[in-house]
Amino acid sequence: MTADDEEPAGIKRDVPTAIHVQISEHIRTRIAAGEWPAHYRLKSEPELAQEFGVSRGTVRRALATLIAEGLLRQVRGRGTFVTSTTIEPAIAQKLSTLSEDFASQGVVTDTRVLEATTLSPPRPVAALLDLAPGGRVLKLVRLRSTESGPVALLFNYVRTDFTPGIEEVDFERSSLFGVLEGSYRLKIDAARRTFSAEPAAAEVASALEIPEGAPVQYLQQVTYLADDRPVEYSDVWIHSGRLHLTSLLRRR
């Protein structure tokens, strides 16, 4: 068999293992390797069927196996996603930024930009942003403080194909969402946020002026446009002693 005759995506038709089982294992391997991280959105069933060279029914059977295992989940109208390994309560659902929340409460803040460079993102970030190989992002690192001291360290990765020239923006004076919506006329529609508690790594501890290993609130977010394309990924570490996340919940 020549290279041109090889089966797509490693599928082998001359072995006793069923095709749908091979596809399930192929996807399972990508998830385990971190190539498809939590919240990664898979291609559509027709696209996967074309990639694997099989029918949609075979793809659907492979996905059903992984959904039953808890590795994938389907969201009506949005697609199939890699499942998070953490429990995600539906809290803090308002899509606002820290700067917007501070402003609405009359809290004076200071923002210091620690890094603003364009680069090729880490593979998990590229996957979450649905970037093709060679795609570039703005890596924006900021430290947000109040009069009591540093409260949040933010790492943002923004697709530069949607935002040419964004590395020239002064983000000590401008908010990220404000620039995306105002300067680039992008319609931000939704985001997926994951909250957890973590021990502060050295870089985080130094920025937030806390002991290394001290507990911090960690927020991970993927932001989507109205046409469902991901535009921004962020990691945010919050000083637990200076800022609390609060939600107003209604039963009905």
C-alpha radius of gyration, the chain, whole number = 21
C-alpha span between 198 and 34 (Å, rounded): 20
Lowest mean pLDDT among 83-92, 135-144, 217-226: 83-92
The answer on pLDDT for 87 being more than 80 is: no
Looking at residue 85, what is its pLDDT?
Answer: 59
184 burial level (CB within 10 Å; 0-12, 13-18, 19+)? middle
Q: Residue 65 is encoded by which pair of tokens? A: 């196996």
Q: Residue 115 is encoded by which pair of tokens? A: 């890094």
> Mean pLDDT: which of 27-41, 89-103, 204-218, 236-250 is highest?
204-218
Contact 26, 7 (CB under 8 A): no
Q: With bands split at pLDDT 50, 70 and 90, how would you rate the model's confidence at 180? A: very high
Residue 108 has a CB neighbour count (10 Å cut-off) of: 9
Looking at residue 184, what is its pLDDT?
Answer: 95
DSSP string, the chain: --GGGSPGGG--SSSSS-HHHHHHHHHHHHHHTTSS-TTPBPPPHHHHHHHHTS-HHHHHHHHHHHHHHTSEEEETTTEEEEPPSS-------S---HHHHHHHTT---EEEEEEEEEEPPPHHHHHHTTPPTT--EEEEEEEEEETTEEEEEEEEEEETTSSTTGGGS-TTTS-HHHHHHHTS---EEEEEEEEEEEEPPHHHHHHHT--TT-EEEEEEEEEEETTS-EEEEEEEEEETTT----------
Looking at residue 33, what is its pLDDT?
Answer: 78
Higher pLDDT: 76 or 6? It is 76
Across the chain, mean pLDDT equals: 84
Higher pLDDT: 122 or 15? It is 122
Contact 159, 135 (CB under 8 A): yes
Q: What is the pLDDT of residues 99-149, one digit of tens each?
A: 666 555 555 678 999 999 999 999 999 999 999 889 999 999 999 998 889
Q: With bands split at pLDDT 50, 70 and 90, how would you rate the model's confidence at 4? A: very low
The answer on pLDDT for 185 being more than 90 is: yes
Q: Which domains are assigned to the chain?
A: 3-82 (1.10.10.10), 98-239 (3.40.1410.10)
Lowest mean pLDDT among 78-92, 126-140, 167-181: 78-92
C-alpha span between 10 and 235 (Å, rounded): 34
Looking at residue 3, what is its pLDDT?
Answer: 37
Lowest mean pLDDT among 10-24, 74-88, 227-241: 74-88
Q: With bands split at pLDDT 50, 70 and 90, how would you rate the model's confidence at 78? A: confident
Residues facing 193 on adjacent strands: 221
Q: What is the pLDDT of residues 188-219, one digit of tens each?
A: 988 888 888 899 999 999 999 999 999 999 98
pTM: 0.68
